Chain A
């Protein structure tokens, strides 16, 4: 069917081999780019002791879509690496937070730019780097710093992952991806940081050659599995579009 055999028939098939103990990155920022369908499939698949990497564990707002907080509630998560272990506003509550406070799930809290750069480094073959972010804060306590050109920097390590689950706008059969507007966010970085990248795609998969090579955001080298999102209600689109179709 495709030159490279990257098209998968179902979300369940695409996540079937994710083993217990895997490190999985989840794309998305405040909605766009979030792999709701793949997360839903992973909930049903049931892999345990996962390490989940994402900007946030999600679930602070209603209507709730499949998120890392649900994987936590489902007993599938050992650890999260993210920029929020509590909600932005103290009055909001992340479903994840009580599990963390009770010590049932571990967490590594990482500034958002450091999280992005640790993923980028992993995808670029860079083992570690120095950043000015978080110097002088609780996060830097007991960690290696170095003064370069009279400024203090904190050593941060690359963050490789076994799997990346992301959403894209368009893909061709070679796995080349285009994202639309703020859907891009962490997705290209996670695709490069992962050994296996699984993509839910909004538009039908195009034949190889249909996308302009100059307009590719993530080349197919970093992409392994593509699944087009079916129409609602079978496919999960956005919280709001879901409301409109129901």
Chain B
């Protein structure tokens, strides 16, 4: 556990930190991977409606094998349940919800986030193809875009940068970033530190970041 502690928050703690920003009545879209962990967070009696891009509005927890309904999946292909008040629409209506600005926040993973709010999550360096899915629609149209990602690559290179090096998913949209080192807000020239994970110093966070940090 000591290694985990020195690296700051684990995946669930990163998701927890962003989920605690969700406000009562919000419609929330969670991307594949770490963002799905946001739905595990206890945020009291706040009423959150989870929207999945495949037209499922108001889904609940993933069901264990044997209890699942094979006609029902979320965006990650997990067999989820439905909460009371749920509704199903087709893909064009689902993205109508997205494009018309009804999603209060979308939480996505990314390879890079820039100080100006750009982010990149659909194509890795040197690849011909990419995986966009619903990310570009969500990023361009949700009221807020939150990103969860490890603060550095496996090689230790920063993912929070002055400018993205990979092809961007959308420009100037990210307002909040949770990493294993803390919670950060892009402010144009750098990132404002909203909170540091336990045991993480400002200097250590700055060293791991490719843009200036502004102390909390």
**Chain A residues with a Cβ under 8 A of chain B:** 29-32, 55, 83-90, 97, 100-101, 107, 109-114, 116-117, 119-120, 131-139, 169, 180-189, 217, 238, 240-241
Contacts and interface: CB of A to CB of B under 8 A. Distances in A.
A32 B95 contact: no
A85 B56 contact: no
B122 to A, nearest CB: 8
B99 A132 contact: yes
A31 B70 contact: yes
Interface in B80-139: 88-92, 94-95, 98-99, 123-124, 127-137
Given A132-B99, A137-B167, A240 B129 contact: no
Given A31-B73, A137-B167, A185 B90 contact: yes
A136 B168 contact: yes
Contacts of A109: 129-130, 132
Contacts of A113: 53, 91, 94-95, 98-99, 134, 136-137
A139 B129 contact: no
20 contacts: A29-B91, A30-B77, A55-B133, A85-B129, A90-B124, A117-B95, A117-B99, A119-B92, A132-B140, A133-B140, A133-B141, A136-B168, A136-B170, A137-B136, A182-B54, A185-B91, A186-B91, A187-B90, A188-B90, A238-B70
A140 B22 CA distance: 32
Contacts of B141: 132-133
A29 B73 CA distance: 8
B61 interface: no
B135 to A, nearest CB: 8
Interface of B: 32-33, 52-56, 69-73, 75-77, 88-92, 94-95, 98-99, 123-124, 127-137, 140-141, 167-171
Contact of A117 (B54, B69, B92, B123): B92
Contacts of B76: 30
Contacts of A112: 53, 91, 95, 132-134, 137
A188 B71 CA distance: 16
B174 to A, nearest CB: 13
B64 to A, nearest CB: 13
Contacts of A120: 92
B97 to A, nearest CB: 10
The 6 tightest CB contacts between A and B, nearest first, are: A85-B129, A113-B95, A113-B137, A30-B77, A116-B91, A86-B129
A83 B53 CA distance: 13
Contacts of B124: 90
Contacts of B52: 182
A116 B140 contact: no
A217 B127 CA distance: 39
A137 B168 contact: yes
B137 to A, nearest CB: 3
Nearest to A94: B129
Contacts of A183: 71
Nearest to B120: A137
Contacts of A186: 90-91
A137 B169 contact: yes
Nearest to A192: B92
Contacts of A182: 52, 54-56, 71-73, 88
B204 to A, nearest CB: 27
Nearest to B141: A132
B133 A84 contact: yes
A88 B133 contact: yes
Nearest to B127: A86
B73 A30 contact: yes
Contact of B91 (A133, A137, A189): A189
Contact of B130 (A86, A89, A181, A189): A86
A84 B131 contact: yes
Contact of B134 (A83, A87, A132): A83
Given A30-B76, A30-B77, A186-B91, A111 B71 contact: no
